[in-house]
Chain A
Amino acid sequence: MKRRRRSTIRLVSLALLASCSTKEPSDHAVSAKPDTGTEKRFKVALLTPGPISDQSWNGGAYQGLLRIRDSLGASVSHIQTKTPAEFEEQFRQYGAQGYDLVFGHGFEFQDAAKRVGPEFPRTIYVTTSSSTSGANVAGMEFAFADASFLAGLVAGSLSKTGILGVIGGTELPPVKESFVAFEKGARAANPSVRILKSYIGNWDDVSAGKEQALAQIGRGADVIFQNADAAGLGVFQAARDTRRALIIGSNSNQNGVAPEVTVGSVVIDLPHAFLSVAREVKDGQFKPRVIRLGTSSDVVSLVLNPDFAARVPPAIQHRVDSLRTEMRAARFSVQAGER
């Protein structure tokens, strides 16, 4: 209920502001290359569920949109949305405006894409973390499990208390899947490890994110894996204040957010993933399908913080590297499906 009310607020306020804001990046159409004039401009839009300043899930997608603009000379547009009603409305808006490609960034967008897609057959709708596909609807699945498993392996070996924490925004399936794989990795390093799991309940309450982390640290967690976007900044802050825990980030490379306490990040190379899809669409080569991206395509990977690499025991470092090679060759995969 709370989320829904606040999203309504956001929707109306955006509408209010549309008339008075001059520098709302949500709606800019910037040209990187001069218009050829003869050819219709390639138009790409992005819907994110949260603010692009989160240095995580939404920020990475926005970087992807900018890369499409810069590399393909596309005209781009971004808007932040929250409720399913808004998802459909914005999908329709972009369809009606003749956009060639519209990204809905997150699991929660897939139903809206499925419904709106048939109404605008000339627009291709791609939703991330989803497994839908249709005539002009595609899903992009990130194999979070492999990299999360490696993160768990490192966390389990670094922990002195034998207690790890995971903190998420809400229990979305990809988040849950990532946490399950993290737990498996941690057990591979230390079979008796304990995992504390907390959800903040939203993705933007930084203060609550910090408190969830402090509560876990109070219970002895000394390595915390977080996946909570903007609210996750509070998790880093808790580690910085107490100096009693290390953090592993998610979605974007968060090693620079608080380098002194960050072991590494499970990074999705969203810019790369978005650009390759956009390139296919622009060239008319795109076939609607579920695009699976993971370790073998190097889109999802565990990136260790260079400052911390020295503190990871060589044996574990070696194990991570060899597992990564196995994963790249698709000889090893975490069965994240089983719970």
Chain B
Amino acid sequence: MTTGDLATFLSAGVRTATPLALAALGELLVERSGLINIGLEGAILAGAFGALLGASAGGLALGYLAAMGAGVVMALIFAFFVLRVRADQIITGTALTLLSVGATGTMYRALYGSGGAALRVPTSGSIPFPVLSRIPVIGPAFFDQPLVTYIAYGLACALSWWLYRTHAGLALRAVGEEPEAAAAAGIRVVRVRASAILAGGVLAGLSGAALVLAHAGTFAEGMSAGRGFVAIAIVILGRWTPAGVALAALLFGAASALQFAFQAMGWQVPYQLFLAIPYALTLAGLAGGVGRSRGPAALNRAL
């Protein structure tokens, strides 16, 4: 493996990790409030579709905004059913994903016909970071990426601080551990949870936008391709901490990049083995490393 190969591999890893990290950081907030949103997959797909609509109508900025808006719509539906109607979280989340797969597919065909959007969606190019991007090998991989990747870095740092160093962060953690005690201490549990769900929706939408506007340049039905479920695994692998989640996303991204690289090297091995690498690694991580850690105590407890 040459340094060129290494640089290609690393930057593919970072690109693949970006949408996963964004979605997983959002889900982290939701889970820290004691809820679990299985509808993440659907929210990413809705975000991707929103990005397509926004960017086609008014350029990149509108694309990102519309994507976050679509994520918020999905989050509002989840919040309404879980917090107001007190429906089962797993069933609500599953229904949301189903709804999103069907609704985006139907609207896509209705609006774009059988020809689809082709490759006409504008994409945001990469912005090299001054100085840092010139570090050999890791420079281009980590610091010559689209803006949304830098947002993911920033978010991981900001959330680490916010969660452990602010009153609001403490309130969120308290709600996720002991909602009754938090309520007795004067924290408005439902409001905290609703805020966490909405923030999760914004980030899921941004994750979808990253797929469409920073990478693919088009929309395809079902293009989220299971990333929402992977992101939920990443939250667990990252032990419910922002830094851990960011690293776990990077690990999964790197494992995917390894799979791309191995296939392109032309080894005579059944390709299914390569495709399994990221999932096998995640599973190994979950089984090996997470055994000792513990999720928020109120996670998925009936409200």
Residues of A within 8 A of B (CB): 2, 5-6, 9-10, 12-14, 16-17, 21, 23-25, 50-55, 59, 62-63, 165, 171, 194-199, 201-202, 204-208, 210-212, 214-216, 218-219, 221, 230-231, 233-234, 236-237, 240, 257-258
Contact = CB atoms under 8 A, between A and B. Distances in A.
Contact of B116 (A2, A54, A231): A54
Contacts of A198: 260, 263-264, 271
A188 B215 CA distance: 36
A201 B275 contact: yes
A199 B256 contact: no
A55 to B, nearest CB: 6
Interface in B108-126: 108-110, 112-119
Interface string B239-260: 0000000000000000011001
A199 B115 CA distance: 24
A104 B263 CA distance: 31
A203 to B, nearest CB: 9
A15 to B, nearest CB: 9
A10 B101 contact: yes
A317 to B, nearest CB: 28
Contact of B220 (A63, A194, A218, A233): A233
Given A201-B275, A233-B216, A216 B264 contact: yes
B216 A237 contact: yes
B109 A53 contact: yes
Interface of B: 4-5, 8, 12, 15-16, 19, 97-99, 101-103, 105-106, 108-110, 112-119, 211, 215-218, 220-223, 225-226, 256-257, 260-261, 263-266, 271-272, 275
10 contacts: A6-B222, A23-B109, A24-B109, A51-B105, A196-B265, A206-B211, A211-B256, A215-B263, A230-B223, A257-B118
Nearest to A231: B220
Contact of A197 (B5, B106, B263): B263
B64 to A, nearest CB: 17
A63 B223 CA distance: 23
Nearest to A78: B114
A23 B218 CA distance: 22
Contacts of B265: 196, 219
A207 B271 contact: no
B119 A237 contact: yes
A258 B118 CA distance: 9
Contacts of B98: 9, 12-13, 16
B12 A196 contact: no
Contacts of A194: 266
Contacts of A221: 264
A212 B260 contact: yes
Identify the interface centre among A51, A197, A199, A221: most chain B CB within 10 Å of its CB.
Answer: A51
Contacts of A215: 8, 12, 257, 260-261, 263-264
Contact of A233 (B4, B15, B101, B218): B218
A208 B115 contact: no
9 tightest A-B CB contacts, nearest first? A53-B116, A13-B102, A218-B8, A215-B260, A205-B225, A17-B102, A198-B263, A215-B264, A13-B98
A210 B216 contact: yes
Given A25-B114, A195-B266, A199-B271, A206 B223 contact: yes
Contacts of B5: 218-219
Contacts of A21: 102, 106
A25 B4 CA distance: 47
Given A206-B220, A218-B8, A59 B225 contact: no
B264 A55 contact: no
B216 A218 contact: no
Contacts of B257: 211, 215
A207 B211 CA distance: 7
Identify the interface centre among A12, A16, A53, A210: most chain B CB within 10 Å of its CB.
Answer: A53
Contacts of B221: 50-51, 53, 204, 230
B218 A211 contact: no
Given A17-B106, A233-B119, A257-B119, A208 B225 contact: yes
B109 A207 contact: no
B101 A13 contact: yes
B116 A24 contact: no
A165 B218 contact: no
A204 B5 CA distance: 27
A50 B116 CA distance: 13
Contacts of A25: 109-110, 114
Contacts of B97: 9
A115 to B, nearest CB: 26
Contact of A205 (B12, B99, B218, B223): B223
A98 to B, nearest CB: 26
Contacts of B19: 207
A231 B220 CA distance: 8
Contact of B15 (A23, A52, A202, A211): A211
A234 B119 CA distance: 9
B108 A53 contact: yes
Nearest to A1: B279
